[in-house]
Amino acid sequence: MSYPIELIRHSLAHVMAAAVQKLHPDVKFAGGPAIENGFYYDFDTDYRFSEEDFEKIEKEMRELIKSNGRFEQKIVDLDEAKKIFANQPYKMEWLNEYDAAGEKLSIYTFRDFTDLCRGPHVESSKDLPRDGFKIRSVAGAYWKGDSKNKMLQRIYVDAFESKEALDAFLKMQEEAAKRDHRKIGPALGLFFFDERSPGVPYYMPGGWIVYRELYNFWSEYHEKHGYFEFRSPLMNKKELYETSGHWDHYKDSMFVFKEDDNNVFALAPMSCPNSIVAYQHEPRSYHDLPWRMADADMLYRYENSGALNGLFRTYEFNQDDAHIFISEDMIEDEYNRIIDIIQYYYKLFDMKYFIKLSTRPDDFMGDIETWNKAETILKKILVNRFGNNGFGIKEKDGAFYGPKLDIQMVDSLGREWQTGTIQLDFQLPRNFNCVYIDKDGNKKTPILIHRTVYGSLGRFMGLMLEHLAGKLPVWLSPVHAVIIPISDRCKVYADSIAEKLQDVEIKTATAGLRIKKDYSSESMQKKIRNAQLKQIPYMIIVGDKELESQTISVRRRDGKQEFNVQLDDFIQNLKSKIKNRDLDI
């Protein structure tokens, strides 16, 4: 019988706990759920687990799986459960919580290990793969994720339905480690982090060029498509966020400070409240709609230090926001326009994507009827655009003010990342009493669309570095080409080439082409190697033959080489690659 992978992982978590119990009988058990790509289990013991223990635990797990032990469920009352878990303080705490909530108490026994568990599980360990799992790591984890509680030891395990599936995943993980933007970025001289400013990157000149090119492209593209860019305050009084609802729903993720008891401020965690203030600054009529406001202001969000992750999760970031005020009859058309923009962007970076509809969360604002209406509208748009099976659903994952379409990017390794989002909001315009005058002279409340394409510019930059393994397209590269003379007698010719290249008129984030000369004492092979390590797209090699023929040799970072190239032809090709924002070189 075949089982869903989540069931296999959950059952393997119990097998690992049984193995740990056999090796360390005094261990205290917390819990161990299935997660993406595997599972983990939290233990409390004076023994410190390390990599040296992994093989022992895995061996014991395989022996237990070979035993064909059954997973047997039993429903018990509170008194019986307390006897079973008398020496397990974490299970005792769960027991009291479950009992207070009126939940039935379910236990599962596998061999000599009994756990408090809702289930379900596989029938027997014979249904589990003996070679489909591998312990990944051990890390500290607070009980229930609260830093006030005791630190436990969490053992992470990668688990799949077969050895072949596990091997494929581990191979992908090896490649992902090579592409880690936290390694690639500093190696390319793009950015770095310093412990004296945690969660905020230092962008070096090359990284800032990449950042500016991404921003300039976004700004120019949106201006051509009916958006106007503005800038708003980075600090507001809490009253603004009380009106929007963010104070009640988002305060713990804000950087808040007091001037006095009557003046509490917060650094802006999102730009929608300020966009609404700007909309309200002047009277609006139906002639003004759609009113498309775009900004990439700096935003600040508090994160637990353990959640910080390179450019993927930072305290400070620029987000390519847009807020669009529309009438209700404009919703479908405006959503399709936004999806068109997303398709263009992701095709440009050779990124596959799909869309998921995120529905009403438990802590929603407003009335259910309005929420149902908004979700129905978005489902209709998705079905018309992608078909009944062309999108996914993320239950209860909408914003507190409205449902949303989340853009899931799939990178070159097959990993999924959430990037952009398109949120449909009937609530905030009501909170702020936003109005426009319709064609009959009546006041109406506009609908608000919140949307991003990149998401955080820094995060998108990190994703792009991993997706492309650091091989940025020419238009984003901090250096377009490096000139390498073979000998000193070729330097004058190399200087003339550099001068002509730097005089080329082309719009970039810098003043034209970005050209570097390598006149160091290193060997030519070392210079070429250095350029390749920096992922510079082109190396212009100048030797006696090139000097005599007044041509250049062009070596690409992938190793391909062209000889007897006319400089003007190279310039035209380079200009074309930049102007068209080609991905290849």
Q: Where are the domains of the chain?
A: 5-174, 182-467, 474-579
Q: Which residues 6+ apart lie within 8 Å of 382 measured at CB?
A: 355, 357, 390, 391, 405
382 CA to centre of own chain: 23
Q: What's the pLDDT at 462?
A: 96
CATH number listed for the domain at residues 182-467: 3.30.930.10
Predicted local confidence at residue 98, as pLDDT: 87
Q: Do residues 121 and 27 touch, judged by C-beta distance below 8 A?
A: no
CA angle 105, 106, 108 (to 5 degrees): 150
Question: What's the topology of domain 5-174?
Answer: Threonyl-tRNA Synthetase; Chain A, domain 2 (3.30.980)
Q: What is the pLDDT of residue 450?
A: 96
Confidence (pLDDT) at 262: 85
Structure token pair of residue 203: 């962008």
* Among candidate residues 369, 454, 363, 433, the one with its CA nearest the CA of residue 401: 363
Residue 493 has a pLDDT of 96
**CA proximity to 158, closest of 251, 43, 254, 35:** 35
Could you report the average pLDDT of every consecutive run of 10 residues in the chain (585 residues)?
92 97 96 94 96 97 95 94 95 90 91 94 95 96 90 97 96 93 96 94 97 96 96 95 93 91 92 96 97 96 87 95 96 96 93 94 90 94 94 92 93 89 94 97 97 95 95 97 95 96 91 93 94 96 95 95 96 95 92
> Which class is domain 474-579?
alpha beta
Q: Is 577 helix (H, G, I), strand (E, B) or coil?
A: helix
Instruction: Please give the C-alpha separations between residue 40 and each of 17, 34, 93, 134, 168, in angstroms, as whole numbers.
Output: 10, 7, 20, 11, 20
pLDDT confidence of residue 406: 95
C-alpha span between 17 and 447 (Å, rounded): 52
SS3 assignment, position 198: coil
Q: What is the pLDDT of residue 391?
A: 94
Show which residues are catalytic.
272, 301, 319, 321, 323, 404, 450
